[in-house]
Amino acid sequence: MLNKGGIIKIADNLLANLRNEVRLPSSISKCLRREPPLLVKNLDDNPSYWLVPFLSEDRLVGFVRISLSGGLMAYGRFGQGKQLSDFPPISQISSKNAEKEMHKAFSKAFEEISPPQLVHDGPVGRIAWLSRGKSRDGEKMLLFWTFGTFYSRPEGKESKHGLL
């Protein structure tokens, strides 16, 4: 597993690619700055990959996805907005904000809600904050919050249908 320093180096080398290859408005691409990498886990709580966010002011603009061994998986932008206000706010990747939102959304219907962790729900691109909780009748639940959307399902029950 590559250390954080190595991940940061790889992400920094890709800043020019992010500026030039995903058609960001030039006013935004000039002001990109890298944030510390976030470790994204899978639903079994195992480390899966590093997500390195790129911001402009307080907006989440781009990202680089790097495997644990340092392989480049993907690099790109969030959304297709032309103005900074079209991009999601940085609070979407804040664990403190995620905990607040989870509590707001789920505390009435569920209990024993754990602190949220950044995971991918199935495929690597489906990032979401995950908390585990219990329904009122004791069933173990997976509680998800991602970019303003909430959903939940009983633990261990995957969706029957193929594409989500």
Nearer to another protein, 41 or 78 (CB): 78
The CA distances from residue 145 to 17, 20, 60, in Å, are: 30, 31, 17
Nearer to another protein, 113 or 144 (CB): 144
Binding site for another protein (CB under 8 A): 13, 16-17, 21-23, 63, 65, 67, 71-80, 88, 92, 121-128, 144, 146-149, 151, 159-164
Q: In whole angstroms, what is the distance from residue 132 CA to residue 86 CA?
A: 31
Residue 141 CB, nearest approach to another protein (Å): 14
Nearer to another protein, 46 or 138 (CB): 46
